[in-house]
Structure 1
């Protein structure tokens, strides 16, 4: 998953996908989602890459350029799935606990 903290152009998206062919999702701030061209959205869909909306909270890029999802989040997803919780309930609960975006948590639950 790659989070873009800038407004990506079609060229940015195509270049990223060419350089990172294993990417599964692009995470983009809500304010930039409306400006992604329909051709870029169609290209991502054809490549099987999800376009997720949301921000990365609490990450300071001046300290570390990368941010990783804590193992605790994956453990909680696994725990809730084993307890038989519905996906929607898991997503709602983890959004409150982690402050990660709903799209992002949904992607993690579906791919766990």
Structure 2
């Protein structure tokens, strides 16, 4: 297996995920990257893992994803395009969060 571990702090900040995450009760908090992971999956049909999914030690305050790159070039290009679109889709994120009140109280 081959993986990339991109830092998505900028995406989390631009989408307002850090603030939305902090609005959750402590017992319901996952991570901003986890919220983005679910948004990307359900709204942009791209599967990635957030940092806590591949080890919790040292994960607090880190906004990384794990991307598998064991695929054909065309599949990787489509996946990167979908991630880019998800990272810019503030309106889509707001609609997604309205459908998923368990993810944020905002």
Q: Same fold (TM over 0.5)?
A: no
State which structure, 1 or 2, has the greater radius of gyration over its C-alpha atoms: 1
Measured against the shorter chain, the TM-score band is under 0.3
When normalised by structure 1's length, the TM-score is 0.27
* Higher relative contact order (CA closer than 8 Å, sequence separation 6+): 2
